[in-house]
Amino acid sequence: MRAVTIVLLAVAGLAQSGETPKPASSNVMNAPFPAVYADGRASFRLRAPNAAKVQLQPGGSDNGLGLEPIDLTKGADGNWTVTTAPAVPGFHYYWFVVDGLQVNDPGAQTFFGWARDTSGIEIPSPGEDFYLPRDVAHGQVRQEWYLSKTTGQWRRAFVYTPPDYDKNTSARYPVLYLQHGAGENETGWSRQGRANFILDNAIAAKTAVPMIVVMDHGYATSLTPPPPTAPATAPPAAAGAPAGGGRGAGVLAPPSAFEHVVIDDLMPAIDARYRTRPDREHRAMAGLSMGSGQALQIALHNLDKFAWIGLFSGSAPGGDLATSYSGAFANGAEFSRKVHLLFMGAGSAETRVTAANDTARAGLGARGVKNVVTFTSAATSHEWQTWRRCLKEFAGKLFR
């Protein structure tokens, strides 16, 4: 993690800077603020003439806008303004705190994060457009509703189909099940993550094969409570550690309600409604942060159904790899035969995660596990630019 120095500038000072910032691409229609400078500085404005104090609160402990609340300055016209130092490129959550009340920015679109609709801003990344729409053939993101027998409720998944899906009607496609992080939902990967554009561009460049991507809501409560289980024998993860399986390093937890949703409800619905290649060789699972723990647990429970695993910002295999995860890695040659890729990625500022990834890769290699790849996103932390880059790298290695 890294601190971001915050620079407060008066409105007159902004005018004297000689550069007019552009409205952020994440703004609502015709909103001039937030506005972004070419160097990544961002200006925010909120009209609150009767307020005594207004702050901008970056969302998260690893946020490219900063790590602490940022005071806005009140102008004679009743507008409160602030300009930050250059932010880390990518997408960032934030909100305002007006006299102690949290409010969203009326000039910005909201995105589901922090378990609620939250303001977000997109900071351009110079020379990097793999996640932006290009003049290439585009796939579609569809909403797929299905009835879950596990929960007794209707659930919604978002499904990306590649550009030629509706034209090449005889083709069948491999499937990537892709999970969001804690406090987010099934909209995250297509809205904040821009997964559809990442896949469109990679498929057009032939750096990824055409595939279906399924993005589901990562929370579920079973109609039938699970039986009591013995407490985990491994120590719990440290406070603040990236979300994992939830039962300590090296423990293969009993199947969760969400795992039953994926295996018993979601996958059969997708295979019935889409032209998939419904076998383990053509099925992958990945996720970010909390979703990485879900991906690891579900894939290890179901190696007859998944041959490709992606872990973004968390959940690197740990513990004694000879016995951890119910012996999943005990026979390195057998695991390598089943799993064609175990991908672990993180941001360079996520030093604890990158260290865990390196340790896992070395430990797995010592056990004869092949097909392990680590990736580090330069100058990013636990944030969407990291996960966009992870998806690009992971997708390019799938189903080859």
Q: Which of 69, 98, 123 is the last residue of a domain?
A: 123
376 shares a domain with 335: yes
| 59 vs 106 pLDDT, higher one | 106
317 shares a domain with 199: yes
254 shares a domain with 385: yes
Is a pLDDT exceeding 70 seen at residue 334?
yes
165 shares a domain with 42: no
- 135 inside domain: no
- 3 inside domain: no
Express each pLDDT in 60-90 by its tens digit.
767 788 889 999 999 999 999 999 999 999 9
Q: Which of 123, 152, 169 is the last residue of a domain?
A: 123
Express each pLDDT in 277-289 by its tens digit.
999 999 999 999 9
Contact between residue 148 and residue 220 where contact means Cβ atoms under 8 Å apart: yes
Residue 1: partners with Cβ closer than 8 Å, 6 or more residues away: 61, 62, 67, 349, 350, 381
- Give the least confident one: 21-30, 113-122, 200-209, 217-226: 217-226
Is a pLDDT exceeding 90 seen at residue 106?
yes
145 shares a domain with 269: yes
Q: Which of 123, 153, 171 is the last residue of a domain?
A: 123
Parent domain of 295: 140-227+235-395
- 335 inside domain: yes
pLDDT at res. 64: 85
40 φ/ψ angles, rounded to the nearest 5 degrees? 95, -5
Is a pLDDT exceeding 60 seen at residue 304?
yes
- What is the pLDDT confidence band of residue 235, given thresholds at 50, 70 and 90? very low
- What is the pLDDT confidence band of residue 226, given thresholds at 50, 70 and 90? low
- 340 inside domain: yes
pLDDT at res. 17: 54
Give me the chain's average pLDDT, please.
90
- 4 inside domain: no
- What is the pLDDT confidence band of residue 36, given thresholds at 50, 70 and 90? very high
How many separate domains does the chain show? 2
Continuous segment of H or E residues that includes residue 109: none
CA dist 331 and 329 (Å) reads 6
177 shares a domain with 77: no
153 shares a domain with 112: no
Residue 125: partners with Cβ closer than 8 Å, 6 or more residues away: 89, 90, 385
Contact between residue 42 and residue 70 where contact means Cβ atoms under 8 Å apart: no
- 342 inside domain: yes
22 shares a domain with 96: yes
